[in-house]
Amino acid sequence: MHFSKKKKSRYAKTQILCIYLKCRTLHVNQNTFKPKTDPALKRDLAANLTREIDFYHYCRQRLHKQFLLIQDKEKKDEGADSLLEKAR
């Protein structure tokens, strides 16, 4: 990787700090140029978009359930494969 001196030193400082504090993540994805949104505006939008927000949460919940089912099936398949190998 090619870093400028400023970035390299900041990166090294972050690594040292994380090692010292035993952090698991080194980077937080955050847009520093994005202006802050007024909480009143967020409240008004949430009041006007209640159905859309509810639908979003429903879809998110369904996707999470499907993901868990797929993971569970994969674990069962791995268990069945290991039992077949042991039987041989």
DSSP state of 2: -
Each domain of the chain, given as residue ranges in start order, spans: 1-26, 49-88
Q: What angle do CA 21, 23, 27 make, to 5 degrees?
A: 125
DSSP state of 10: H
Helices then strands, counting H and E runs in the chain, come out as 3, 0
Does the pTM surpass 0.75? The reply is no
Residue whose entry in the numeric block shows the structure tokens 């994005």 = 34
1-56: pLDDT as tens digits = 455 555 567 777 777 766 766 666 566 677 888 888 899 999 999 899 999 999 99
- Which amino acid, one-letter code, is at 15? Q
